[in-house]
Amino acid sequence: MTRPLRLGTRRSRLALAQSAGVAATLIAEHARDVELVEVTTYGDVSTAPLEQIGGTGVFVSALREALLRGEVDLAVHSYKDLPTAPANGLALAAVPPRCDPRDVLVARDGLTLAELPLGARVGTGAPRRVAQVRALGLGLELVGVRGNVDTRLAKVADGELDAVILARAGLERLDRLDAITEVLDPLQVLPACGQGALAVECRADDVDLLELLGMLDDPDSRAATTAERSLLQALEAGCSAPVGGLAFVAEGENGMELYLRGSVTAIDGSGAVRQSVTGSVSGAAEVGRRLAVDLLADGAAELMGARA
Supply the residues annotated as catalytic. Answer: 81
Q: What angle do CA 187, 178, 9 make, to 5 degrees?
A: 85
Q: Write 253-261 long-range contacts (CB < 8 A, 24+).
A: 256/281, 257/281, 258/223, 258/224, 258/227, 258/283, 258/284, 258/287, 260/224, 260/227, 260/228, 260/231, 260/287, 260/288, 260/291, 261/186, 261/190
Residue type, 269: G
Count of C-beta atoms within a 10 Å radius of residue 196: 26
Residue type, 43: G
The answer to whether 264 touches 291, Cβ cutoff 8 Å, is no
Alpha carbons 175 and 169: distance in angstroms, whole number: 10
- Of the candidates 260, 300, 299, 306, the residue with the CA atom closest to the CA atom of residue 279: 260
The answer to whether 178 touches 136, Cβ cutoff 8 Å, is no
Count of C-beta atoms within a 10 Å radius of residue 82: 23
Alpha carbons 26 and 5: distance in angstroms, whole number: 9
Distances (CA, A) of 75 to 16, 55, 60, 201: 11, 19, 9, 5
* Phi (first) and psi of residue 53, to 5 degrees: -100, 10
- Check the CA dihedral 71-76-80-85 and report its sign: positive
